[in-house]
Structure 1
Amino acid sequence: MDGLRTLPLAVTMMMGPQIVSAIIFVTVRRAVRVSLAFLLGVALATTAGLAVMRGLASLLGSAVDLGGSSDAGSVGHIVQYVLVGLLVLMAIRNWRGRATAKPPAWLGTLMNASPRRAFEIGLMVILLMPSDLVVMATVGVHLEQADANFAEALPLIGLTVLIAALPLLAYLLFRRRAEHAMPRIRDWMYGHSWLINIVVALVFIVLILA
């Protein structure tokens, strides 16, 4: 995945409700079991999502010449510019609605989540989040342009799961401190979801254009 910075992409994948969910799960009863189920969902969703996007990019590449990764006027780059435009619109929408912005209602239900529900949330926060779909679509196009196989996406999958696991690792390593800190972090991110969404959009715009 030369040309794409894997770590910032993984951070982008988990910013927003994704990492908030991970933080909430370490503050619930049976935190370890619930968090592990969530991580399994994230891993499966990221793998499946990237595989599908790679496949779609391959189909697109067989129908239309995407061009090389160094060709700024190629169809592949035009697709990426369209994605940039969508991200800009998303950032503007979040900024204009910041005064009345509320996090997704389902976040409030996670305090009583079972491992099965946590697994479902792990799938949902990757496969249904616009920002993650944009990331995976961009990676799929990049892999097709570079004529790379799916193994090139494995570092992104691994780092995404690792970032999702950071709240659980902090909980296991610093149990008492984490028990005090995580609820405060959760509440701040819960109340500033609009700002997080804007930051995610801007970071990914920079990654695409760079």
Structure 2
Amino acid sequence: MNLHVLPLAITMMAGPQIMCALVLLTARRPVAASGAFVAGVAVATCLGVVITTGLASALSLGAGHREGSFGKVLQYALVVVLVLLALRNWRNRETADPPAWLGSLQSAGPGRAFRAGLLLIGLFPSDVVVLFTVGITLSQDHAGPLAALPFVLATVLIAAAPLLTYLLVRDRAEAAVPVVRDWLTGHGWLVNIIVCLFFAVLILV
């Protein structure tokens, strides 16, 4: 597939997704919970690619590269939405609070962690947009879902990065994870702005 979509894997995990991965490392069974979360991300990403590729092909969203094509119009509409979301995050930065469910994951077991990975990737608006972008790209290239394997692997690797780091340098990670988690929780609005603008630029390039 076109390799320009690979950076979208970063967007898939930026925001609550990566914060969720960090919070799970402070759970009672961090390795089991984090592994289940990564599995949920993998399943949701694979299903998302299959579904969006099928829809893009069925609706001819990737037909042609004409400026007036529906796919191109949709891309421009997404850029506008992303810019508006970035402005909203900036405006509400002083009152932004982390979602309550994020903190509750500290007591999550593998089953709940798996569902968190599944739902965050499958239902989170920015991830749905990314998956549709990948689906449209595959449709434009007349490629099947298997062509998205590099994108899927990159997304799963990013999701697993906190767990892999924890396993490699466990003592240091146990001290660093709460610090990183707290910073991300307090600056979630900044992460969201960066993600929105980063994704908007990728769409326009």
Report the TM range for the smaller structure's normalisation.
over 0.9
1:168 to 163, 167, 183: 163
1:99-123 per-residue CA deviation (whole Å, 9 max, x = no partner) reads 1111222101001001100001011
Residue pairs, 1:23-172, within 5 angstroms: 23-61=22-60, 66-69=62-65, 71-172=66-167
**2:4 paired residue number:** 4
Deviation of the 1:200 alpha carbon: 0.5
Moved over 3 A (4+): none
Whether 1:204 aligns to 2:199 is yes
Q: Secondary structure at the match of 1:40?
A: helix
Which deviations, in whole Å up to 9, do the C-alpha atoms of 1:34-91 show, x marking residues without a partner?
A: 1111111000011111111111111211xxx74324x333322111111111111111
TM-score, normalised relative to structure 1: 0.93
Instruction: Report the AA paired with residue 37 of structure 2.
Output: F
Distance 2:71 2:5 in 1: 18
2:47 alignment partner AA? A
Q: Distance in 2 between matches of 1:138 and 1:166?
A: 24
Q: 1:188 to 1:25 in 2, by over 3 A?
A: same
- Per the alignment, in what secondary structure is the counterpart of residue 67 of structure 1? coil
Question: Do the aligned residues in 2 keep the contact of 1:101 with 1:194 (CA within 8 Å)?
Answer: yes
- Root mean square deviation of aligned Cα: 1.3
Q: Does 1:190 align with 2:161?
A: no
Instruction: Measure the CA separation in 1 of the matches of 2:70 and 2:154.
Output: 29
TM-score (norm 2): 0.96
The share of aligned pairs that are identical, in percent, is 55
- Give the gaps of 5 or more residues in structure 2: none
Q: CA deviation at 1:5?
A: 3.5
- Tell me how many residue pairs correspond in the alignment: 205
Question: Take 1:66 and 1:134, find their aligned partners in 2: how far apart are those partners?
Answer: 15
SS in 2 for 1:148: coil
List alignment gaps of at least 5 residues for structure 1.
Answer: none
* Aligned CA distance change for structure 1 residues 114 and 3 (closer, same or farther; 3 Å): closer
In structure 2, give the amino acid aligned to 1:72: E
